[in-house]
Structure formats: C-alpha cells, structure tokens
Structure 1
Amino acid sequence: MLTTRSQRWRDRRASFVPAASEIDPNRLSVDVIDTRRQATPFVEAHHYAASMPVCRLAIGLFRNGPGGRSELAGVCAFSVPINNASVPKNAGLADPLSACDLGRLVLLDDVGGNGESFLVSRAFRLLRRERPGILAVISYADPVRRIDADGQVFLPGHVGQLYATMGSRYVGRSSPRTDLLLPSGRPVSSRAISKIRNGETGERYAIDQIVQAGAAPPAFGEDRADWLQGLVRDGFLRRRRHPGNHTYVFPLVKAAKLACRKVPSLPYPLLDRAALQGDVTALPLFSLAA
C-alpha cells in the first residue's frame, strides 16, 4: 500500500484518518451542486486556503444529517487550469479547454478513510456527463508542511498518495516558486498576487484578504505593486521558496490516454513521515515502481 491515512478537513485545519476506516456507501450520495451557494461556503469554511478557485463544476458528497435531512460532507471542485501551458505540458492535450484542475477536494474529518476515492470516482463520471469537452483532470499535491504563528501545524503536507492509488499518471513537479506568507503562515495565492499587481478583475477581493489578515490598506492612488513590496519590506508578508507541487494526471477517455504518452510517466513520490517541517517528500524522491 502507498497510503495508510487519508487527509480530512474541518474549520480550515487538516487532519488524517486511517485509510482502513470505511464508509457505508448506502448512506452516501454524490451529485452536482451549486458552486456559489453550496460549494464555495463549504470550501471557505473548511479548506486551509479559505478560497474557491474559478470553478467549472462542483460535486458534493451528501449523507444523512440531523432530522433525516441531507447534509453536505465533502466537495470536489473542478477548476480552470492554473495557466494554458499546464494542459499540454502535463496532459499532452493541445487544447487548454480539454482539461481541468482538481482545484479543491475537501472531506470532513468524520468521513471514513475511503470516502475520497468514493467521491472522486463518481465525480469524474459526473464531470464527463456535464462537461463532455473535458478529457483529463490535473491534480496537484502540496508537499510543504505549513505552521501558523502559534507554531501549530494547519497543513501537514502531502505527496498525492490518493491519486497514486487511483491509478493516475505522476508527471513530476510544477515549477518552483516563491510564496508570500501572511503572519498566520498561510500563503497568498500566486493568482491573487497577480491580480493585485496587474489590476485584474478580482483585485479588490484579493486585497481585502490581505487587509483582513492585519495589513494596512493601500493608500489612495498608491501603486499596488509598491503596496505589496512595502508589506514585504516591513515584514508583514514573508517570502519562502517552494519546491513545486507534485503533479498527477487522470485521463478520462481513450484520446486523453493516448495524448498522455507524450508526457513522461514517473515513479510515484513517497511520504517522509518523520519530516517535521518543509518538504515532506521522502528521499530518495521516488519509489522504484512506476
């Protein structure tokens, strides 16, 4: 087995449950949900990033709740790829619209260990039904352990073991980058930084996230790039080098499987359970079996 634990979420804190703990499929259902009214509030409440990427389709995991009413217990959100180049690079598909990212996968901490595969496998089928132009899904695993200002781990870091057990292709790491961290230790997304620096749509929301974390808002007429640089200079935002996320591809149809042959398939990375900080990828970086 590549994994013995499954990552779970509640109130923006990650935890792990034994993969051996099982769900009862007869008590769960999976269906398309409304992104704005259902998926986004759930993700913002429980995922450490507290944000929803630009979503192409959201799928919900439901169970029986109080009073016999249906209760949302997990969300799988398929999002727009991080950039147009990522689709041909990682999936071998020429059309950027022919693939999407697995932007968010969030299950509550009391869902059994095999709940993720139950949700994702059914979400893939719904994705093909609702968005037949999407031929492949790209997923990223962030291996960097994140610690808040109080020294508490809020994201343990993972190497995508679930994706490996589900038969995806591992295609390596995304490009290394430099993160800007809030005082809480949470990173400001590179997309939010780009919106602020370039004055793109969504800039005000991105600025508000940083201000809500305790930063002084930009002065009237102040250049937004200068404002960000000032927050770095004053120590409010801290720079930290990131080695790149592990990248996996799920070809959903035969055409995508053929296209994936253009991209090298690498051995799956392993988790270093002894790692207390930084990158939790084990050394040597890869297992011997592809």
Structure 2
Amino acid sequence: MPAITARPALTPAEMPSSPASEYCQRWSRGRHSWRHASEGGFDPQLYQVTPITEATARAFVIDEHYASSFPAARFSVGLLTRDDRFPINGATVDGMALVGVATFSTPMASRVLSSVFPTLEPYEQSIELGRFVLTDTPANAESWFLARAFRHAYDRGIRGVVSFADPMPRHRQVTEVLDDGTMIERTERTSPGHCGLIYQAGNAVALGRSTARTLNYHARQGIVLSERSLSKIRGRERGADAAERHLVSLGAPVRRAGQDPRSWLRAALAALEVTKIRHPGNFRYAFPLGSSSHRRRLPIGLPRTAYPKPDTDILQD
C-alpha cells in the first residue's frame, strides 16, 4: 500500500471545537501534525496493545513527545502495528513497530488523585495518565488505543484515571543552513496547546483546571524544567545526578568538582536563559473505569464543568 502523508498543523482557531473532532493529533520527534478521520485506513487486525518496559516507553516518549520528558511511571502499554504504510522511529517490540505509548504514572502529591476519586486508594486504585502519544497512524487509532490502554489499567486494579491537557503552546528555536551556507534561526511551534479533544471523545468527565503555577521555561527548546528535578539538585537528593546531566545536555556548563550545587544551578539556568512564566493550569479530566453501573456510582470529588474548546480556551501565541 502507498505511504500516507500527515496533513500540516492547524492553528487553534482552525481546529474543530466539537468533542468528536474530525482531526487527530500525531507526533514525530517532538513536532505535531494532524490526521483527518476521512483518511480512514485503520485496520485493528494490524494493531495490538501490550505492556512494555519502562526503558522502552521512556525512550519513545522522550523522542516523540513535545515535552521531551518522562513521568514517574507505574506502568506503560504500547501500540504495536504491522501496518507498513507509515514511517516509524525505528522502535520495535516483539518484531512489531512501536507507534504509540500510554504511560500511567504517579503524581508527586496523592491529592491529585484523591481530590478526583475520594473513595479510591491513590496509586493503587487511581492513577494518572501521564503520557499519551502516537506517531503517524490512521485517524481512528487514537481512540482505539486509549480504550485498550484503560482496559489494561483496569486489569491491574485501577478503577479511576486522571489526566490533564496543557493549553500552553510550545515553541523552540531551530537553526537552519540555507543553500548559500548562511545559518539562520527560526522559531518552530512544537505544540499548539491542547484542550483534551481525545478525552472528550472518550466521554471523560471535565473537572475544570488544575492549580495555576509558575513554570521554569526553556524557550530555546520549548520545554518546561521540572521544579522537582531542580530541587533535587539543590538538595543533592536521589536523582540529582540525572537532573544535572539533563541540564548539561541542554547546553548548561558541567559542574566543577567541589562547586556548590545551588550556585551551579543558578549559573546553569542563566546560561540556558530559563525564564519564569505564569501558567493558568491544565484542563483536568476524570475517567471512571469498569462497568457502566460502576462508573455511574463512583463518586467524583470535584465539580463537573463544560468541555473546554480549542477556539476559546487554548492560550494564544
């Protein structure tokens, strides 16, 4: 079969506002694109969903997701395919191409889960969908994968899932070499911002926004630096070495032997031109799992809200 080319990215204003969106977002090396449902072509016989190792999930998510980071994973499942019409990043599992990852993770504070599902045990019965990313696949693959990822979570004792959609657009600086050898820098949008259309299409319960907060934003790469990771460096906690290596990989100077971690971190953030930006909070969604009667009976601890829309609720550039 011939290869299928992804459609170009749409602006938030061009995206449909219906929960049953006709467009599905895809990712490749941190860049987003869109597929239209009219393209069709999804054959479930060519796909399967299976548990994958943390190392496999981590490598895929960091390569493909715009955030270039991996959460504190509890478990991950992968979308595998034998469909050879689409380019892949080379990752395989059991001889099949890995084209999607759903990572269920543990947020730093149990309140993230218990505020939504007050009767469920956090981390054991409730969990966060920390990453959900697909590379180039047919339009219907997204909802098909999400439903089966939740089935795997249910089989592991999970009865409630919390997920978030980030409305903040992301950009990064890209250096290009022109035909005449001239080097230029341009700004590339890696994410238009999200309001959670795939969650809405999956009948998630909308629960407003998470708490507004201040972020450490690395504008050149278009990524947010975790405050938790930075605090590990300051306090020389477990994981500090990995957090340091990440900053060095972004262009920060290597910490000298004996140099105070706090003073090094200040210099590293300055060298990376990390800035503080105010974020209004992510859109929060809840997915009760199980039978329809169980889903209806499961208490939700926060007020339900209307679904946010791309044309009014996503932050503008």
TM (normalized to structure 2)? 0.78
Who is 1:141 aligned against?
A: 165
Query: Which ranges of structure 2 fall in alignment gaps of 5 or more residues?
Result: 1-17, 85-93, 174-185
Amino acid at match of 1:188: L
Determine if contact 1:159/1:280 at 8 Å carries over to the other structure: no
Contact kept, 8 Å, 2:75 with 2:104, in 1: the verdict is: yes
Q: CA deviation at 1:94?
A: 5.3
- Segments of structure 1 that go 5 or more residues without pairing to the other structure are 282-290
**Structure 1 residue 179: deviation in Å?**
1.4
2:201 is matched with which residue?
Answer: 165
Task: Provide the C-alpha distance between the structure 1 equivalents of 2:76 and 2:30, rounded to a whole number of angstroms.
Answer: 19
Deviations 1:70-118 (A, max 9, x none): 2111111111124211112223345322211111111112x01221110
**What one-letter code is carried by the residue in structure 2 that aligns with 1:176?**
A
Q: Which amino acid aligns with 1:167?
A: N
Partners of 1:93 and 1:226 in 2: CA distance: 44
**Corresponding residue for residue 245 of structure 2:** 208
**What is the CA-CA distance between 1:255 and the residue it aligns to?**
5.6
Deviation (angstroms), 1:231: 4.0
Partner residue, 2:302 = 263
RMSD: 2.5
Residue in structure 2 matched with residue 227 of structure 1 by the alignment: 264
> Does residue 64 of structure 2 align to residue 46 of structure 1?
yes
Letter in 2 for 1:26: Q
Residue 238 of structure 1 corresponds to: 275
SS at match of 2:206: strand
Residue 135 to residue 197, structure 1, CA distance change in 2 (3 Å): farther
Maintained 8 Å contact 2:49/2:148: yes
Aligned length: 273
Change (3 A) 1:94 1:198: farther
Cα distance in 2, alignment partners of residues 235 and 76 from structure 1: 30
Partner of 1:288: none
* In structure 1, C-alpha distance between the alignment counterparts of 2:261 and 2:272, rounded to whole Å: 17
Deviations 1:133-157 (A, max 9, x none): x211111101111111231001111
Alignment of 1:119-130 (within 5 A): 119-129=145-155
- Of 202, 211, 224, which residue of structure 2 is paired with 1:175? 211
The structure with the larger Rg is: 2
CA contact (8 A) 1:43 1:52 kept: yes
The residue type equivalent to 1:103 in the other structure is G
C-alpha displacement of 1:256: 6.2
1:26 equivalent in structure 2: 45
For 1:170, give the aligned amino acid: A
Q: How far apart are the structure 2 equivalents of 1:136 and 1:122?
A: 15
Contact 2:116 2:300 in 1 (8 A): no
Paired with 1:91 and 1:191, the residues of 2 have a C-alpha distance of 24
Aligned match for 1:16, one of 27, 31, 34 = 34
Amino acid at match of 1:204: D
SS at match of 1:126: helix
What is the aligned partner in structure 2 of residue 6 from structure 1?
24
Q: Percent identity?
A: 33
- CA distances 1:249-281 after superposition (whole Å, capped 9, x unpaired): 1011366654433321110000028x9xx8159
Q: Deviation of residue 232 (structure 1)? A: 4.5
Please give the alpha-carbon distance, in whole angstroms, between the structure 2 residues aligned to 1:258 and 1:42.
Answer: 37
State which drifts further: 194-203 or 167-176. 194-203
Q: Counterparts in 2 of 1:95-134, with a 5 A limit?
A: 95-97=121-123, 98-109=125-136, 111-129=137-155, 131-132=156-157, 134=158
